[in-house]
Amino acid sequence: MTLPEALCTRDQWICWKRAERNGETTKVPVDPQTAGFASTTNDETWCSLETALECVESGSTAVDGLGFVFTESGPFVGIDLDDCRDPDTGQPTEQAKTIVGRLDSYTEVSPSGTGYHVLVRGGLPAGRNRRGHIEMYDHARYFTVTGEHVSGTPTQIESRQRELEEIHSAYVGKGDDDVREASGSESGSKTRLSDDELLEKARNASNGDKFERLWNGSTVGYTSQSEADMALCCLLAFWTGGHAGQMDRLFRRSKLDRPKWGEEHYADGSTYGEKTIARAIAHTSEFYEPSASEVKAQRVGSSRDREHVYLKERVSLLRKQTTSLESEVEAKSARIERLERRLEAYEARSVTSSEESESSRETQSKSLVRRLRGIFGR
């Protein structure tokens, strides 16, 4: 197994197992620590590579392999190429060969043997993230990991922002007319609020209570969850200026998010989430236009910035872990001291008992001698 060092050092690992859903095989994420369901948005269900490997190798939990979770603050983007490799000969399709060669970064064979997973450093361009047999993810998703490195590709994850944008434009964003026409332009408003600023404004607006309920997953007042999804997306369409990429990112943070959101539901390869966003944009007649002064001067956008954020979070986590370990060491040291004192007391009692026993034996011996002298001296 060959894995990039950049992945091995991150506590973003899970396991997965095959399961049947609606007559189709799917890969269910598993928490290696509890054997329960792992969530790509809950880091408490992730762990180190070592822990995940132990789960796979021990056989204590029924799992089929390893998985790596992408995070919004992380610097990685995963490109999933399906049905593009002959599992018997290893021969790729021309399209897959072109994409893998252009990205020129760590690439491995998928678990089925019929596809490739490419990992690069960069930021996923706005817009749809999948089309046909090509998918791209940078957060709230995980990649199955095989370690079956494709010969001729780098063994490390390379920075490929320009190449990623070119591949996205040529193979994924191309033909995304439904969203672009509905929104007027993919970028929507030229000056957009950050996600957190947008959420704050939405919550403090006159209809903030409605937004808050939907954001927290409430479907009260709606005939179905799909209707509630649409209602939240319409609100997001207004606040994002009709920016489909930001709408998708925010919806995935809400408690209305569910596996169906990213599932392909339409003949053109669109997912349920993509169609819901397109319809919400089409049904929204007015869009919020923030002033330039409302937009933060600094954003975590580039791969270097996101790496910086990740490292800061990592340092903070390690400091907390160190403090916890120091407290644990202190507690165990105190316990060792208590046990040593008990041992010393026990040994002291043993010596005293031994001395007393020896003294008693001497006394008994002297008494016996006197009695014998008395008998034989008669």
Question: pLDDT of 221-269, one tens digit each?
Answer: 888 899 999 999 999 999 998 888 899 999 999 999 998 998 877 766 7
- Give the span between the Cα atoms of 164 and 372, in whole angstroms: 107
Same domain assignment for residues 157 and 119: yes
The 10s digit of each residue's pLDDT in 170-202 is: 998 755 444 433 333 343 444 567 888 899 999
Higher pLDDT, 340 or 56: 56
Using the Cα atoms of residue 256, residue 260, residue 262 and residue 268 in order, give the sign of their dihedral.
negative
Same domain assignment for residues 152 and 190: no
Residue 365 lies in a domain: no
List 27's β-bridge partners, or say none.
Answer: 18
Residue with token string 């019929």: 114
Q: In degrees, to the nearest 5, what angle opens at C-alpha 274 toward C-alphas 273 and 277?
A: 85
Same domain assignment for residues 136 and 93: yes
Residue 367 lies in a domain: no
Residue 67 lies in a domain: yes
Which pTM was predicted? 0.53
Residue 345 lies in a domain: no
For 118, the enclosing helix (H) or strand (E) is strand 116-121
Contact of 13 with 67, CB cutoff 8 Å: yes
Same domain assignment for residues 34 and 69: yes
- Give the span between the Cα atoms of 16 and 31, in whole angstroms: 8
Same domain assignment for residues 41 and 169: yes
- Give the span between the Cα atoms of 133 and 131, in whole angstroms: 6
Higher pLDDT, 354 or 294: 354
Residue 203 lies in a domain: yes
Using the Cα atoms of residue 42, residue 45, residue 49 and residue 52 in order, give the sign of their dihedral.
negative
Same domain assignment for residues 220 and 128: no
pLDDT of residue 177: 41
Q: In sequence order, which residues have a C-beta less than 8 Å from that of residue 357 and are 6 or more positions away?
A: none
Map residue 255 onto helix, strand or coil.
Answer: coil
- Give the span between the Cα atoms of 316 and 318, in whole angstroms: 6
Same domain assignment for residues 163 and 122: yes
Per the structure, how many domains does the chain have?
2
Joined tokens for residue 229? 């999804």
Same domain assignment for residues 168 and 103: yes
Rounded average pLDDT over 95-105: 96
Domain of 151 in residue numbering reads as 5-174
Residue 355 lies in a domain: no
Map residue 135 onto helix, strand or coil.
Answer: strand
Average pLDDT of the chain is 83
Higher pLDDT, 320 or 130: 130
Higher pLDDT, 70 or 296: 70
CA nearest to 49, candidates 81, 78, 7, 21: 7
